Amino acid sequence: MRATSDYFSEQQVNEFLNAFFTFKNYGENYSRYEIFLSQQAKKREEKRRDQGNFLPQFFGNSVFLSSENYIRIVNEYQIEVICYVIRQIDSLNQEGKIVAKNIEKEVMLKLYYTFEETDSHFLIESYEQLDSL
pLDDT at 132 over 70: no
Residues 6+ apart with CB under 8 A from 92: 57, 58, 59, 60, 98, 99
pLDDT at 8 over 70: yes
For 4-129, give the CATH class: alpha beta
CB 73 within 8 Å of CB 79: yes
pLDDT at 1 over 50: no
Domains of the chain: which residue ranges? Answer: 4-129
pLDDT digits (tens, 9 = 90+) for 47-88: 877 766 555 566 778 899 999 999 999 998 999 999 999 999
pLDDT top residue among 18 and 103:
18
CA distances to 4, 5, 7, 76, 105 from 1, rounded to whole Å, are 9, 12, 12, 13, 42
The pTM of this model reads 0.86
